[in-house]
Amino acid sequence: LLEVAADPKHLGAEIGFLGILHTWGQTLQRHPHIHCVVPGGGLSPDQARWVSSSAHFFLPVRVLSRVFRGKFVAGLRRAFSQHQLGFYGECQPLAEEKAFAAFLRTLFRQDWVVYAKKPFGGPDHVLQYLARYTHRVAISNHRLLSVDESSVTFRWKDYAHHSKCRQMTLAHEEFLRRFVQHVLPKGLPRIRYFGWLANRRRRELLPLCRALLGAVPPTSASPTPATCETAVPQCPCCGGAMRVIERLTAKQIVHEERRQVCFIDSS
């Protein structure tokens, strides 16, 4: 994105964006991809003006796809030469240098896809959609339907058939295998910022972008008495702010209450 946007043949500007890593699908299968939220323009090379993108498209997706493919394959080749790749099972033959090089050549015979579109519901809708993935695991409790001695049954949406709700039952081992695929390595951030939104540059360049666009910076007003009742509640033990992890429906609350067991000490 940074390289193609900086090319004068396309946008000719320095852009800023955030990327969110998402690794799972509805059935917990491994499906790594990145959602990027990109403003529709960037700073000119001299940082003196704002360069807006075309009204029809941001950057040519075919060019993005080819550049992405080239960089991805180059990264694989570099990781192989530095002995950072492991090959197991059916992939073991690729540990040989000639076999791996032949495999990389096949990747250039396929079209890679970078999908770009305008936000249908506006920027706020996009951020709300992506916020579901930033601090959650691969499956939430409300999708779990039953757990017995040998299997786990959960609900999933079949997006290929108009988001129809279906059920899937997996053995314990298979359910855990799918789940742990999405536990990120320690120290790997799920959200990253790039360009003029990068952490080391945002303080200086974000106000500049607002000034060039004539945008008013957001203000954090103090809560008024009318809003104090809806403020974030405090923990009764430590006094810290409590964070909403999940909202339960009335049916789920009743179900949880029935599961609770009260012990009375009669001594």
CA-based nearest residue to 20, from 136, 183, 134: 134
- Judge whether residue 267 has pLDDT over 60: no
Query: Whole-angstrom Cα distance, residue 73 to residue 67?
Result: 10
Of 146, 155, 156, 151, nearest to 175 (Cα)?
151
DSSP state of 224: P
Residue 83 pLDDT exceeds 80: yes
What does the pLDDT average to over 176-187? 92
Q: CA nearest 196: which of 185, 175, 212?
A: 212
Helix axes 61-81, 97-107, angle to 10 degrees: 170
Q: Are 5 and 42 in contact (CB under 8 A)?
A: yes
CB neighbour list of residue 67: distance below 8 Å, 6 or more residues apart: 3, 4
pLDDT digits (tens, 9 = 90+) for 68-78: 999 999 999 99
User: pLDDT at position 137, please?
Assistant: 83
Report yes or no: 68 and 4 within 8 Å, Cβ to Cβ: no
151: confidence class by pLDDT, cuts 50, 70, 90: very high
pLDDT one-digit tens code per residue, 206-253: 999 999 998 887 776 544 444 444 456 777 777 777 777 777 776 676
Give the DSSP H/E element, type plus range, for residue 158.
Answer: strand 151-158
Q: How confident is the model at residue 257 (pLDDT cuts 50, 70, 90)?
A: low
**Spatial CA neighbour of 100 closest among 87, 111, 110:** 87
**In the chain, what's the furthest Cα-to-Cα distance?**
83
Chain mean pLDDT for the chain: 85
pLDDT score of 100: 96
53-72 pLDDT, tens per residue? 988 889 999 999 999 999 99
Instruction: Give the pLDDT score at 259.
Output: 57
Q: Taking residues 108-127, report their average pLDDT.
A: 84
> If you write DSSP's letter for every residue of 91-124 in order, what string do you get?
GGGGGSHHHHHHHHHHHTTS---------TT-HH
pLDDT at 255 over 80: no
Judged by average pLDDT, the poorest of 2-6, 108-112, 193-197 is 108-112
Helix, coil or strand: residue 68: helix
Whether residue 128 has pLDDT greater than 90:
no
